[in-house]
Structure 1
Amino acid sequence: MTTETNQVTHHQGPRVLLVATGGSLAVGLTSAGVGALVAGSSAAVGALIGTALVVLVFAGGSFAVDEVARVMPAAALLVALLTYTLQVLAMGLAFVAISRSGVLDQTADRGWLAGAVIAGTAGWVVLQVALATRQRIPAYDLGPAAPRPTTARAGER
């Protein structure tokens, strides 16, 4: 004998990604504040640029993967791998563009930018993994409930 359960699936992906984004922003703003106190405004600007890079690249890619996983679960792994590759490429191109623009020589500190990217990425990954592992995601979908077969008792036909 089995017990029927009502399966209610709530899509928790956006909540996890919003918390991870908030955590990454908090780490970045904290590092910008510390940078401003310790090394001046160029450190704060560098940390803010690094934080903006992390949030834009990771949030954009993660929300795209989450949407694909919701609409077409079978394509989620392929899109996740492609998105990761594009995130690495986007981060590299952003660093090249920032270096060539002269911002790092004039108004932003290179070390604080790199530190904010590393700290923001670490904060993002830790929060996303911690929250995602606490979700109750079924290993498979049971589908709609099938009608129960009825058994006729003797004499009830």
Structure 2
Amino acid sequence: MKKILQIFVIFLGILLFFCGKVNAQDLIFEFRNPAFGGNTFNYQWMLSSADAQNTFEEEADMLEFETDPLADFTEDLNRQILNNLSRQLVADQFGEEGLQEGTYVLGDYRIEISSTAQGLSVLIVDLATGNQTSIIIPYF
């Protein structure tokens, strides 16, 4: 057993003698993504890589330039009328004067205002499509 140990030590000594110089370096980890503290110069490379992999195209961007200006004007006008009416409804309901009940026709919309037990009922009917929206403004 002692002889085997001596042979092993001699073999190890010869092996270390012929190994020569061993080089090593420190392992350093750095984030690549600038969002996590990486180098800010990587941002453009990462963005271009993400854009190259992105195959999704938004349809809204394509349809934006295909709209009719007259249809846009009509839609904007209807939106402003409904906005002003909603402001007037809220101001009249919560103001000193009461809101008059009745039916109003504004463009493609019919608006019916009536008093119920729960509060002021506003029914908005789109005459073009037949869609209805019912709003109840409660009494306080």
The two structures have a TM-score, normalised by structure 2, of: 0.31
RCO (CA 8 Å, sep 6+): is it higher in 1 or 2?
1
Higher strand share: 2
Higher helix share: 1
Instruction: Kindly name which structure, 1 or 2, has the bigger radius of gyration based on alpha carbons.
Output: 2
The two structures have a TM-score, normalised by structure 1, of: 0.28
